[in-house]
Chain A
Amino acid sequence: MADPRTHRLRLWSSALVVGVVLLAVLLVPPLVQLDEQAVDLSRKLLPPSWAHPFGTDDLGRDLLLRCVYGLRISLLVGLVAALVATVVGTAVGAAAGALGGWTDRTLMRLVDAFSSVPHLLLGIFVVALFQPGVWPVIASVAVTHWLSTARIVRSEVLSLRTRPFVDAAVSGGASRWRVAVRHLLPAVLPQAGLAAVLMVPHAMWHESALSFLGLGLPSHQASLGNLVQTARSSLLAGDWWPTLFPGLLLIVPTLAIAGLAGAWRDRLNPRRRSELML
């Protein structure tokens, strides 16, 4: 196990990265008076320098600025998709756990059936038929990501149902609905929230993969995936920076979010031993 000092270091560096990312995507677009779409062909494909830390793309646009805008869109899509998936997963998991019986069995079979289709493939299928765009992408990410939350919430609810405070509420005359909403749901929210946070990077990854395949966001809403996709022709001509930086901007926030969520998870489940379980 890592010693407390490395632990703290990891936590603070994760928090710092997440803070910088949030500030950048929230403040740069409204405050910085630069047009990320400004084309300047005389400055096309300049390698990284002080004036353009990430270099410029094949139309002479500043890549740092484009990456910040791309990250903003990826993050937004990831957040919304994770939120939708968590709400759906919590509702299904809570219903299955609280009602039990046939409802439980049917819902869990549904979860099993959904998890037998590879997620990206299901996403590709949905987006292809509904035509690429923001909402189909969000829907396709949400439709594949609620499963794990549903499983977590269901098992939490099942273990909570046997606790004395639930028995007390039931013998006090509380209705099923009231027990579910007032007693069970608040108790599972921390776990569901953790699942949601861990889902954000996953959803961002999913969105960039779809965008890279040409099945994601339209090119005027360039996300990080779109940026890698459009950089492909420059890469084949030997210019690496338009490909490298969007990818890095996907990796670094992912690691930081996972670091923060890991610390949160250690607080929720202090006895967890394996480093693999999420």
Chain B
Amino acid sequence: MKRRLPWGAMARMTGRRALAAVPVLLAVTFAVFAVAEASPFDPVKAYAGTAGLTASQENLDQLRANLGVDRPLLTRWWEWLTSALTGDLGDSSVMRRPVADVIGERLGWSVLLAVTAFLVAIALGTLLGVLAGRRRGGLLDRTVSSAAYTLEAAPAFWLGLLAIWFFALRLGVLPAGGLTDTASDTVTFDQVARHLVLPALVLGVSQLPWFFLYVRQGVGDALDEDPVRGARARGLGERTVLTGHALRSGMLPMLTLVGSRVPELITGALLVETVFSWPGIAAATVQAATSVDFPLLAALTVLATAAVLLGNLLSDLLYGLADPRVGFDG
């Protein structure tokens, strides 16, 4: 049976959400500037670096005026916002390059890592969730569920370090970090693929408990429902019942919620990219924070907020599609 997609309603919801995102993003950018204003952080000293320690007060004042940081908070915020809309996000002091270039160069690697990790989590989570949900309370279910709760409590950076120790040092089968081999100066598919395995696995496994527990719950509940009982009564095979009935109704709500997992994914990426020296934007965020690189940090915070809002929208759109009762009113 084919259903026509409600493009109109979906487009209207997207439009409404885009409008609602504007005040949120404005508030976040302003808060970023307000926090910086209230903090002991001094952009002039950050800009001047060690030279700032010996420079005269006159020079510092001159620099302050040149950088435009002696003006009021609102003016600076507005100026940053207007130039950000034209694509100019200022210069990163730690990377010594325009912020837009840094993001443009690194965003792709982060997306590659995040998508691979999500696929790992969905594939493993579905497989284990179905197996455990089929016989809840069984040995497999109890083992995997306890492992999932333990994994949920384990910090991703710790998992990453142990993975490096085991796979890179003990077995020596996978590289410990980076994007390419140290000796290499070109980026080849083969090298990237080998360097991607460990970070993607660790990030995926750190997201796994949630997927697993949802599929397990969904499949287990669906197996108790009338359609499944009806299918069994009609004499359908176990495999058909499981994949055609239980999995379908158990999985759909889970898949639609993937979009709302963006915050956890970003949190995981911040830690995993740092542990594996993956050249993505999450690792750049940590670098920007440790060296108090305000322009880069501000841009990345706003970018992450936009990603979360986009993820929420995606999740609501999919949910409306999967369950027509929900609709697109939000």
Contact = CB atoms under 8 A, between A and B. Distances in A.
Interface of A: 1-2, 112-113, 115-122, 124-131, 201, 205, 208-209, 212-215, 225, 228, 231-232, 235-236, 238, 240, 243-244, 246-247, 250-251, 254-255, 258, 274-276
B217 A274 contact: yes
29 contacts: A2-B137, A112-B24, A113-B24, A115-B263, A116-B24, A118-B263, A118-B267, A120-B267, A120-B270, A121-B266, A122-B301, A124-B270, A125-B301, A128-B288, A130-B41, A212-B157, A214-B290, A225-B155, A228-B155, A228-B158, A235-B161, A238-B165, A238-B170, A240-B162, A243-B165, A244-B162, A255-B149, A255-B153, A275-B217
Interface residues of B, number: 50
B317 interface: no
B192 to A, nearest CB: 22
B290 A205 contact: no
B217 A121 contact: no
Nearest to A213: B286
B176 A236 contact: yes
Contact of B292 (A128, A205, A258): A128
Given A118-B264, A251-B154, 13 more contacts: A1-B137, A121-B301, A125-B32, A125-B301, A129-B292, A205-B155, A228-B161, A236-B169, A247-B162, A250-B155, A255-B149, A274-B217, A276-B217
A258 B39 CA distance: 35
A214 to B, nearest CB: 5
Nearest to A112: B24
A34 to B, nearest CB: 26
A258 B146 CA distance: 13
Interface stretch (B50-58, B99-107, B304-312): B304-312
Interface in B125-155: 137, 149-150, 153-155
B120 interface: no
B217 A116 contact: no
A222 to B, nearest CB: 15
Nearest to A240: B165
Interface in B58-89: none
B252 interface: no
Contacts of B27: 113
A243 to B, nearest CB: 5
A80 to B, nearest CB: 20
B201 interface: no
In the A-B complex, the 8 residue pairs with the smallest Cβ-Cβ separation, listed nearest first, are A128-B289, A247-B158, A129-B39, A254-B153, A118-B266, A118-B263, A120-B267, A251-B153
B251 interface: no
Q: Is the interface of A mostly helix, strand, loop or mixed?
A: helix
Interface of B: 24, 27-28, 32, 35-36, 39-41, 137, 149-150, 153-155, 157-158, 161-162, 164-165, 169-170, 176, 213-214, 217, 262-264, 266-267, 270-271, 274, 285-286, 288-290, 292, 294, 297, 300-301, 304-305, 308-309, 312
Contact of A276 (B36, B214, B294): B214
A71 B292 CA distance: 28
B32 to A, nearest CB: 7
Contacts of A119: 263, 267
A212 B290 CA distance: 12
A175 to B, nearest CB: 34
A84 B49 CA distance: 36
A212 B35 contact: no
A250 B24 contact: no
B273 to A, nearest CB: 11
Contacts of B274: 213
